[in-house]
Structure 1
Amino acid sequence: MNIYQLLRIGEHHINHCEDYAIVETIGQGKILCAVMDGCTMGGDSYFAATLVGKLLRKIAIEKSYQSFYDKSHNTSVDIDLKYILGKLMAELKDLKNKLLLKDDELLTTLLIAIMDVENNTGKILTIGDGLVCINGQLYEFEQDNKPDYLGYHLAEEFEMWYSKQKQILHIDKIEDISICTDGIFTFSAYDKKKYNVQKDPINYLQLIIYWLTKKIKSLKAC
């Protein structure tokens, strides 16, 4: 599986990029991918996105070790996603108490994908705004500029909260997958000049991914 990542600081973000992205293996031929977008109106908005990314990396490494020592414990992507989210919420709640963090210091969106490379299946959960592309089909999650954030739900009972999640996508056959924060909707000309041809940045980026995939497949065939 070929994985491509792109992370850029926004024009109005002076000191830090408020997005964060990670890709980690979780053992037994499975991969965790996630992108986070901190709330600009929150306190130190880059912090929440980075913290969630670091915690997900820690959880992924622990799960990878666990699967290495117990190869008989092979779970589905559905179980993996729920387990990882449960661990993430518990650790966020614990850190909030230990560091005396305020609610607005833990505001970040989250798009998380668990992919089973061997079985060619996957599952994606979006908390807040974002864009998902599965096998050329776009799924836009837009909440009228009032996105949901993980930090809103730390006091809730996890099982009840998780059962209410609606922005979940199941993948029966993976050809290509893209997960993006809503920053992809703000792409603009880097040099501020006006051009006659107006490009759709979403379709343009998807075209690049499609072309790279075909190019790599043709090279392997040679």
Structure 2
Amino acid sequence: MRVYTGLHRGSSHKNYCEDFLLTIPISKQIFVGMVADGCSAGKHAHFASAFQCKLMRKVICTNTFIQKDIPVQLLANRLLLSWMQDLKYFKQEMLIPENELLSTFILLIYNAETKQAYVTALGDGGVLINQDLHEIDQNNCPDYPIYHIEDSEEEWLDYFNEQSFLIEVPSQVGIATDGIFSFYHTQNIREIPESKFADYLMRDTSLKDYEDMIQQKIYILHAQFAAQAYDDIAVIRLLFDNHLEIKVF
């Protein structure tokens, strides 16, 4: 399994990248990744996304229910339930107002023992399943996790499973914040459709021999195709089939 990540500040944000990401191999069998997207309309959006990823790392490092043969959906639900409980606790203990915790995220879990991947999307973004890139769009009205802080555990589970994907024996899988779909041409160059840029970062397997594949591709889009992202980007890609070849352009 190869893991690729990328974090990039979009042109609309002058001071901070408001996205964040987490990658943490729990064991030789289980990998967890998370991309978070802070709300620009909130306060300290960069803090909100970073805090939520750090909180997930704390949940992972302090729980004992993680076993190599645990089903990925069950593990995801247990992690998310613990995460919501901690979010509620720390919000109260640290007196953090709601508008400083406005961030969505997408969670990815892969279990090498069962060869299953599971993705839970709590907000907009992109989800790569094998050769297909799916765009999740909530029409600029994201249902932030913090809005559900006072719900019951049963309501939390319903919320977690609204947008989820179970992938059996994937060849590749990936998650990204919605900035992946915000590329535009900075010059009058129309050789490559703007709709292809997300595929280039998420589906294309060229440069797969380089650990910084995502960052290299962002640079190539800027230098060779005069394209840049309007919104921030956080990307995590897992490639399992070393012989998989997908060329976008």
Q: TM-score, normalised by structure 2?
A: 0.78
Distance 1:196 1:183, change over 3 A: closer
* 1:22 alignment partner AA: L
Q: Is the 8 A contact 2:30 2:112 kept in 1?
A: yes
Which of 160, 168, 171 is the equivalent residue of 2:167?
171
User: In structure 2, how many angstroms separate the alpha carbons of the residues matched to 1:156 and 1:104?
Assistant: 18
Q: What is aligned with 1:111?
A: 106
Pairwise CA RMSD of aligned residues? 2.2
Distance 1:210 1:150, change over 3 A: farther
Greater helix proportion: 1
Distance 1:167 1:56, change over 3 A: same
Name which structure has the greater RCO, CA cutoff 8 Å, separation 6+.
2
Q: What is aligned with 1:194?
A: 188
Distance 1:28 1:203, change over 3 A: closer
Residue 198 of structure 1: how far off its partner (Å): 2.5
Q: TM-score, normalised by structure 1?
A: 0.87
Q: Does 1:181 align with 2:206?
A: no
Distance 1:210 1:134, change over 3 A: farther
The unaligned stretches of length 5 or more in structure 2 are: 210-238, 244-249
After superposition, where does 1:97-176 map in structure 2 within 5 Å?
97-164=92-159, 165-176=161-172
The 10-residue stretch of structure 1 (201-210 or 148-157) with the greater mean CA deviation from structure 2: 201-210
User: In structure 1, how many angstroms separate the alpha carbons of the residues matched to 2:117 and 2:200?
Assistant: 25
* 1:202 alignment partner AA: A
Distance 1:96 1:105, change over 3 A: same
Q: Is the 8 A contact 1:124 1:170 kept in 2?
A: yes
Residue 14 of structure 1: how far off its partner (Å): 2.1
Instruction: Provide the secondary structure at the position in 1 that maps to 2:11.
Output: coil
Residue 195 of structure 1: how far off its partner (Å): 1.0
Structure 1's consecutive aligned runs of 4 or more residues displaced over 4 angstroms after TM superposition are none
Instruction: Provide the secondary structure at the position in 2 that maps to 1:208.
Output: coil
Q: Is the 8 A contact 1:104 1:151 kept in 2?
A: no
Greater strand proportion: 2
User: In structure 1, how many angstroms separate the alpha carbons of the residues matched to 2:202 and 2:22?
Assistant: 20
Instruction: Provide the secondary structure at the position in 1 that maps to 2:21.
Output: strand
Instruction: Provide the secondary structure at the position in 2 that maps to 1:151.
Output: helix
Instruction: Provide the secondary structure at the position in 1 that maps to 2:46.
Output: helix
User: Deviation string for 1:12-47 (max 9, x for gaps)?
Assistant: 212211000111122361110110000000111111
User: In structure 2, how many angstroms separate the alpha carbons of the residues matched to 1:206 and 1:158?
Assistant: 34
User: In structure 1, how many angstroms separate the alpha carbons of the residues matched to 2:206 and 2:145?
Assistant: 32
Residue 188 of structure 1: how far off its partner (Å): 2.7
